[in-house]
Structure formats: C-alpha cells, structure tokens
Chain A
Amino acid sequence: MHIRLTLILAIIVLLPVIMITWLGYQYANEEQAMQTIRYNRLLQQNLKETDRLIQSVIYKRERAMTQIIASRFPTPSDAIRTLIRGNSDIKNIFMLDADKQLLHPPALQPLSRAEQTFLQKTQRLRDYLTMPAKKQPRPKPTTADLSAPRTSIQSVPKKSARLLGLPLQRKRARLANSPADNESWQGQAEQGDSHLEQGWLTWFWERGLNLLYFQRDRAGNLVGIELDRAKLIADIIAELPENNGAALDYRIALLDGKDELIYQWGRQPRAGAAPLTTIMLSAPLSAWKLQFFTTTPEKSNAVYLSMAAAATAVLLLLTALAFYLHRESGRDMREARQRMNFVNQVSHELRTPLTNIRMYAELLDQELDDEQPAVRKRLNIIVGESQRLSRLIGNVLTFARQKNRRLQLHPQPGIIDACIENVIKSFSESFDKKSITIAFDGHAGERVLFDGDCLEQILNNLISNVEKYACTGRYLAIASSQQQDLTTIIIEDDGPGISKATGERIFHEFYRADNSLTNKVAGTGIGLTIARDLARKHQGDLILLQSAKGAKFQLQLHTPKVSS
C-alpha cells in the first residue's frame, strides 16, 4: 500500500514535469529558430545599410563622371591627359569615335607606359563595347583566353547600378566573381539594349577588381573612364564607420573578390569565428562581400535556462505537494490503523469477560435441577444478553473492517439450512419469552460453498431486528431455496413493517427510522448496512420486498455447489 502510494505520487510529480520539460524544450527550439531568423534578418538589414553607404560612393562617382562626360569633354589627347592628372578619381581614359576608332590614347602618338598598359588591359572591354548588341557574347572564358591575359567584365547599365536589385546582383556576382586567375572577364548587356550608351564595367586585372564607367559624349564618342582603385577604396572607407572596436559587440568586414580584407570595424571576434551572415555587395562591386561577426556567444541559452528554471520550479512545487499528500495520507493511514487497533483491542477486552459471563452461566445452567425454573430463567437471560452483546461487538468489528477494507470472506463447504437452524436455535429462548413463533421452511439442504460466519451475522442482524421491532406480530417466517449456484432466503415478519417513505434508507449506515417504536428500542443503525455489505461481499444482495403486512427481506448469496 505504502509502495503503491509512493509510486502514484512519483508519477503525479514526474509526468507533468516530463511533459512540461518536453513542451518547454520544443518551445525553446522553436523560439531559438525564430530568434535566429529574426536576428539574421536584422543582420542582413544592417549589412544592406552598409552596402547602401558604399553604393552612395559609387553613385557620387557616377554623377561626377557623367558630368565630366556630359559637359564639353576635352579633346585632343593632351587635354584628356590634363584632365586625368587633375582628377585623382580617374586613373585613365579611353575614347572611341562613332566609327569605333580609338581617339585616345592616340594610336599614332607616343604613349606613356601607363597608357600602354591601359590599352592592353581594356582591349577586350573596347571590343565588347563596340560589338553590335546582338553579337555581344555571353562572356565565357575559352581555352585561348586562359592562356592569354584575361579580363573579367561586368557591364552594369546605369539604371541597374542605381536600383541595385539583389537577385541580379547575385547572378552577376556569380558570373564575375571567379578571380582565381590574375585576369578574367565577363560581360553582360542589358536586355533590349541595341547598344550600350552608358554604364559600369568591372573586370579583374592583376591584383583586383577594376572599375570603368563608360558613356557617349555629345559628339557621340564613347568615353571609358577607369577609376582609381585606391582612391575609390579610400573614399568608401571614409564613408564607413570608424574602427573603434571597443564600442561595438560585433564586427563587420569588407572583403574583395579574393576574400582579402579591405576594411573592418567593430570589436575583434574570437579566433576562428565564422561569420554569422554574409552578403555580396550590389553591382558594380558585386564581387565584394560584407561579413558580420559577433563577439557574444552564437546561441543564447536564455530560453533553455528559463525553461529549466520553470521545470525545476514545477518539480519542486509538485514534490512539495506530493510530500505533503504523502505525509497526510500516511497520517490518515496511521490514524485508521490506530482506530482499528483500538477497536480490536477493545473488542478483545470485551470478549474475555463476556466469555466468562456466558460460559459460567451455561455451566451453572447445567448444574440446575428441573425444580428451579426461576433460576434457570434468570440464567437464560444472562446467556441471551451476553449473546446479544456478542452480536453487537461482532457488528462493530465487521463495520470497522468494512470501513478499512479488511473484511474478507472464507467460504467453506457446508449446508445452508443447518446454519439457519443454528441461528434460529440461538434465538429460540428469547423468542419463546416474547411468544414469537418461528416457522422455517428449508429447501437449501445441498452441500455448497459459503461463509458460515457471514451468513450467521446477516441472519442474526435480520432476526434481531424482528426481535426488537416486530415482536408485536409474534410471527417470523424463514424460507430457503436453492437454484444452481444461488441460495435465496426470505425473512418475513408480521410486525409493523417498513414504510415506503423509508424504503432503501434503512440500509444506510447509522439510519434509524424515526418513529415511536424505534425510539423505545436501543440500536446502532448499522445492522442492516452490515447485512447488505456482507451479502454483496458474498456476491449476492439483500433487498426489501414489498409486503402487505410486516417487513419482508430477500437475501441472495452466491453459493457454488460442492461436488461430493
């Protein structure tokens, strides 16, 4: 009992805790995933802000270059060289006339080393720009290209350069961002353009990405301006936040197409830390990338810790509750045991003097002569009363056992009618005294399995009620019958009977019908309760039948036949 209770309490405690922990873990995982998504979105927004800053530099350059070209662009070459020398943003310029002939650097004049190199590295760009739009190939390095110096070209029309759509950027970045070799090129024209009028071209040459802005001037010449890479990077860095690392708990790094660091700001992350997120820059710098590093732990365990704390709190609460219930239950059981022990002890103490009273009265009766009827009568009263007291003690004990669920039956082979006759015999003296006639019609003479003590106690209680409440009828009829494994006993008297209003309540414990008759007679109100409980314990029942006169009870017991 104790172990079962402990197990039940353990289950009551552990089941909710396990469920809470499991649900909490699921919730924490979901929450963690949602936080990661939200966090990455924030990081992407942060990096895109940085990308916009860089784009603003490119846009300024573009406006500057557009103004230079749109205004009266200087010719001849000397004037262009003066322009280059006077503008630190410009590294070199080429100019093609409407017939795609190179106007600058002049082919027939001596060229500086820088101009020679410039012509060399922009040769394929110029070919690309002067090619009819339909024939402009989708740039792809060939075997011949791999052996030759290569240029990676990416043309970015002006419109695209300003609007910076991300899918396009990525597509182009994939196309252009393969600078494993010193040079490679790729190019793409805007769809629908019959000819490229203005835009950006990027290409790799030697150490890194080069940027060229092209546009037709008023005379229809195509002007290509190569930006100074170092100056451009310096201007970009100037736009970006200062590298005061201690103030921030993250770091953003700007890397070129070869994953070489251009610039970074924010606190130094731990060694070997992987970037939380990476985005490619918008065109025309789509070969460059921005990376975000965090200096705080990558995953926050706050949700798991909260969950663990909640589960622990629930566990402690339920454990405390279970401990309290266990203690209370233990106390109840102890008290019930003490009560039961007390009842047992008291009944034991009562039985010993009762045995002496009854035994010595009966021994005395044996010594009596027939000439002493008055003494015998008194002795019979003593014996009868001691028997009544025995029945009362038996009822109290049975009631206590029933309450403690310790009442057990022990069926033994026997004859029902013999048991009934024994009970009738024990009442014969008192019934004679009250002039009550007992009529027994026995038809239960087969040997069956039943608990004799149980049947005696039921009959004792029923007949005792007749003796107490129905003696005015002066008649008690008992009839027994057997059918298969069922024994039926009818107990009927001619007394005042039980009113319909009282009905089933007579079987309720401590119930006593409130009338002048019961008020005169002492009783505990448990006799019929015990009788019905015992009958039901014996897989039968005790019911009150309708009767024209007096009370009529039907007792049925499950009594399996015993094979001879």
Chain B
Amino acid sequence: MKVLVAEDEDLIREGLVEILTSEGYQTIAAEDGQQALQLFDAEHPDFICLDIMMPGMNGYDVCKNIRLQNQHIPIIFISAKSEEIDRVVGLELGADDFIMKPFGVKEVIARIRAVTRRCLAHSDPDGVQQAFTLGDLRIIPGELRALRDEQTIELSYREVNILHLFAERPGQVLDRDTLFNHCWGMDYFPSSRTLDQHISKLRKRIEIDSKNPLIIQTVHGRGYRYNP
C-alpha cells in the first residue's frame, strides 16, 4: 500500500515516513504542495498525509485539486493549526481525518490503521482477502485485526502481510530475504536486527508465551517457520 506524505518540515516528514514504513507502507514524500500534486499524478498513492501550512500551495488547495481527480482517496490532514475552524474547513474539503501537532506515534498509527481499514474495505468490497487462521489465531486482513477467543489484537499492515506469508507457506522456513522481499519490498535494505526486532514485537502480541512461541518459531541460522 502506497502513502504520499506532504510536509514541509524535514524532520516531521522523515519521522512520518519512518512510522509509515515501520507499519509496512510504501511511502513517497513531498516537500510542498506543488510536488505533492505531481507525485499524486505520477505515483497514484492509496492515501495521503497532508500538512496544511506549506509554502507555495497550502494543504487545503492540494486537497481541493486532488478531490477534483479522485473523490475516494483517503486524506489525513496533519497540522499545527488547531483552530476549530481549520479543522472544520479541512473536513469540509473532504479530508477523512485530522491529526493535530504535536502528535504521538501511537496516535498516528491508530489513525492510519483506521484509514487503511477503510481503504481495504473500499478496494475489496466483496471480502476477497478472506480471513485465515494461524494456530488459535483468526486473522482478518481487511480489519487489520487478529482474534483469539474474545481477545482482539490490533495488527499493522506489515504484520498482516507477514502472518499471511506464514499462513500461505505452512511448515516452510522463510528466510530473511523472502520475508524482506514480500513484506518490506525489493528496494528495502534493512539490517538483520530490524527483522528480529519486528518478529520479537509481533510474538509479544500474538503469542500466548512470547518466550516459547507456538506460531512463529525460530529456525536458527535459516529464518522463521509456522508449524500448523
């Protein structure tokens, strides 16, 4: 899933890109409104994170231009402008959500996941991405959620993809390259530590005992495996 981030503040733009990437999204970044429109035409992103106060063309104008071409693409405004009227104007122009600075990473993630669910529901209205099971977990990709009995576990887009890959290849050892290629993209060159940390965090959430995992098992020296 491709996300366009338009933000003139370098540090915030880079931070957002990092958050989105860690969630499993492919990101494209724009420094101003004009560039955002060009990237929107060229890259056809699945949703957009848009700052309001940008040099040249502000976020409202970018939103208006995008809405002329695409009525459905989700747009999240991210801004330090906190006046109620700013929020109302943004939502009136067709924004799907409004994140106010200073924001926390968890808040951004929660809102992006909510938008992703809407995207998935829109792109897969018939529920082709069927739910699947891994052990005692039932994973619903369209909702970015896993269910165990009455417990609901929130998942990132990437985590769903990782679990989906394990479910597709039960009993197979998935090495780092396979996992990276499928879940991070071909042009991503993470350190081996990144994958281990990611799997470790995923285990903490989906395993009953993360120190004795039953769903994602480590195959030393080779990779990870799901034993049904």
Contact = CB atoms under 8 A, between A and B. Distances in A.
A394 B106 CA distance: 20
Given A354-B102, A355-B103, A363 B84 contact: no
Interface in A343-402: 344, 347-348, 351-352, 354-360, 362-363, 366-367, 369, 383, 386-387, 390, 394, 397, 401
A352 B12 contact: yes
Contacts of A387: 104
A358 B84 contact: no
B88 interface: yes
A410 B102 contact: no
Contact of B101 (A351, A366, A369): A351
B170 to A, nearest CB: 30
Nearest to B84: A408
A356 B84 contact: no
Given A348-B53, A363-B105, A366-B22, A356 B15 contact: yes
B82 A359 contact: no
A362 B80 contact: no
Contact of B80 (A352, A359, A386): A352
Output the residue of A366, A386, A387 with the most chain B CB within 10 A: A366
Nearest to A351: B80
B103 A359 contact: yes
Contacts of A355: 12, 15, 80, 101-103
B9 interface: yes
A366 B103 CA distance: 16
B213 to A, nearest CB: 16
Output the residue of A351, A355, A397, A408 with the most chain B CB within 10 A: A355
Nearest to B99: A355
B182 interface: no
Query: Could you tell me the dominant secondary structure of chain A's interface residues?
Result: helix
Nearest to A362: B105
Given A360-B15, A363-B19, A410-B84, A352 B101 contact: yes
B87 interface: yes
Interface string A389-431: 0100010010001000011101000000000000000000000
A557 B96 CA distance: 27
Interface in B38-86: 53, 80-85
Contacts of A362: 104-106
A369 B11 CA distance: 24
A252 B102 CA distance: 100
B192 interface: no
B18 A363 contact: yes
Nearest to A357: B102
A410 B82 contact: no
Contacts of B53: 348
B197 interface: yes
Contacts of A358: 102-104
How many residues of B sit at the interface, in one of the four size bands?
20 to 34
Contacts of A363: 15, 18-19, 105
B22 A359 contact: no
Interface in B1-48: 9, 11-12, 15-16, 18-19, 22
B101 A354 contact: yes
Given A352-B9, A352-B12, A347 B80 contact: yes
Contacts of A367: 197
Interface in B94-149: 101-106, 108
A362 B107 CA distance: 11
Nearest to A409: B84
A363 B106 CA distance: 10
B54 to A, nearest CB: 13
B206 to A, nearest CB: 17
Contacts of A352: 9, 12, 80, 101
A356 B101 CA distance: 9
B19 A351 contact: no
Interface string A319-357: 000000000000000000000000010011001101111
A46 B205 CA distance: 121
B8 to A, nearest CB: 10
Contacts of A354: 101-102
A408 B82 CA distance: 12
A366 B105 contact: yes
A359 B9 CA distance: 13
Contact of A359 (B85, B88, B104, B197): B104
Nearest to A348: B80
Nearest to B15: A359
A390 B104 CA distance: 11
Given A352-B12, A363-B18, A390 B102 contact: yes
Nearest to B197: A367
A397 B104 contact: no
Nearest to A340: B83
A299 B22 CA distance: 98
Given A355-B101, A362-B104, A362-B105, A344 B83 contact: yes
Output the residue of B9, B22, B85, B105 with the most chain A CB within 10 A: B105
A351 B22 CA distance: 24
Contacts of B12: 352, 355-356, 359
A406 to B, nearest CB: 8
B62 to A, nearest CB: 19
Contacts of B106: 362
A387 B104 CA distance: 9
Output the residue of A359, A387, A397, A401 with the most chain B CB within 10 A: A359
A352 B15 CA distance: 12
B82 A397 contact: yes
A16 B83 CA distance: 42
A367 B19 CA distance: 12
A366 B156 CA distance: 14
A30 B158 CA distance: 95
Contacts of B102: 351, 354-355, 357-359, 386, 390
Contacts of A369: 197
A355 B80 CA distance: 9
B78 to A, nearest CB: 9
A397 B15 CA distance: 26
Contacts of A344: 81, 83
Contacts of B16: 359
A334 B84 CA distance: 21
Contacts of B82: 347, 351, 394, 397
A395 to B, nearest CB: 12
A386 B22 CA distance: 23
Shortest beta-carbon contacts, A-B, top 5 = A351-B80, A362-B105, A355-B102, A354-B102, A355-B101
Interface of A: 344, 347-348, 351-352, 354-360, 362-363, 366-367, 369, 383, 386-387, 390, 394, 397, 401, 406-408, 410
19 contacts: A344-B81, A347-B82, A351-B80, A351-B82, A354-B102, A356-B9, A356-B15, A359-B15, A359-B105, A360-B11, A362-B104, A366-B105, A367-B197, A383-B104, A386-B102, A397-B82, A406-B83, A408-B84, A410-B88
Given A355-B103, A360-B11, 7 more contacts: A347-B82, A352-B9, A357-B102, A358-B103, A359-B12, A359-B105, A407-B84
